[in-house]
Amino acid sequence: MYDTLTTTYTFNCPMHGETHVRLSRFRRLEQLPGTQHPAVFRVEFECGCGEDHPGLVSHEDLDWAPLGLHDGTQYVNLMTSRVEALASELGELAATRIKAGEWPWSFFCWPEERPRPVFPSAFRLLAPAASGDRVGLLVRCPACGKVSVNLVTRAHVDVPFVNDREVGVVEHLFHEDATATAAEFHAELWSGSFDARRLGLE
């Protein structure tokens, strides 16, 4: 379902059959009730046909597949002239960066006034900005459980370890109720009330 090299998920489209979308084109993520291991998420994504479609994504595909830890692709290592597994190369790279204090994804938690590491399974709503390559991102903080809204680049969402140096932050405490939060999110996203905050992740 997830292609590490193109950073895209594969879904079905009623019009085109198969479509490939990046994480920044997801619009809503919701963990389904029931089994927790593995957890399954219902997503809505913006398809190339112009419509939003539903899909299902496993916890593995959402949080771990983008790191390439289980990618079965092989490549020819030009240094050794041997065929090697891409997963081992990407796994070493991810481990090195995490040990150095970098996290694959991050966001700014407004209630805590600090940047926090996060996985995509903590994303709840995404919406494209009116112009440019920005995305409004509503995240439930894994540490405090509160919801924050950040304005980030698409690369910040799509590519692991690409963290924006500055993000827009909505200074607003959102309701726990999902329906009310979604309405507030859309209202705040277009209000222009984002405040630039620096993520101290260097």
* pLDDT at 5 exceeding the cut of 60: yes
pLDDT score of 192: 55
Clarify whether residues 52 and 80 are in a common domain: no
Does residue 25 surpass a pLDDT of 50?
yes
Domain count, the chain: 3
Q: In this structure, are 78 and 122 located in the same domain?
A: no
User: Do 112 and 183 fall within a single domain?
Assistant: yes
Is the distance from CB of 171 to CB of 112 less than 8 angstroms?
Answer: no
Instruction: Check if the beta carbon of residue 120 is closer than 8 Å to that of residue 83.
Output: no
> Could you give phi then psi for residue 188, rounded to 5 degrees?
-70, -35
> What are the structure tokens assigned to 134, written together?
């920005």
Q: What is the secondary structure of 158-174 as a DSSP string?
A: HSTT---SEEEEE--PP
Residues 154 and 91 in one domain: no
Residue 19 and residue 72 in one domain: no
**Are residues 75 and 31 part of one domain?**
no
* % of the chain surpassing 90 pLDDT: 48
134 and 187 within one domain: yes
pLDDT at 201 (0 to 100)? 41
Longest dimension (CA), the chain: 57
Contact by Cβ (8 Å): 162, 154: no
Instruction: Give the pLDDT confidence score for residue 61 in this predicted structure.
Output: 93
pLDDT beyond 80 at 86: no
Q: Which of 131-135, 155-159, 169-173 has the highest mean pLDDT?
A: 155-159
26 and 39 co-located in one domain = yes
Per the structure, the complete domain to which residue 81 belongs is given by: 68-99
In a shared domain, residues 193 and 119: yes
Task: Please state the rounded mean pLDDT for residues 183-202.
Answer: 56
- What are φ and ψ of residue 51, in 5° steps? -110, 160
Q: CATH number, domain at 55?
A: 2.40.50
Residue 130 tokens read as 């009116």
Torsion angle of C-alpha atoms 85, 160, 127, 56, degrees rounded to 10: 40
Q: Residue 75: its pLDDT value, please? A: 74
Question: What does the pLDDT average to over 82-105?
Answer: 86
Is the per-residue pLDDT at 199 higher than 50? no
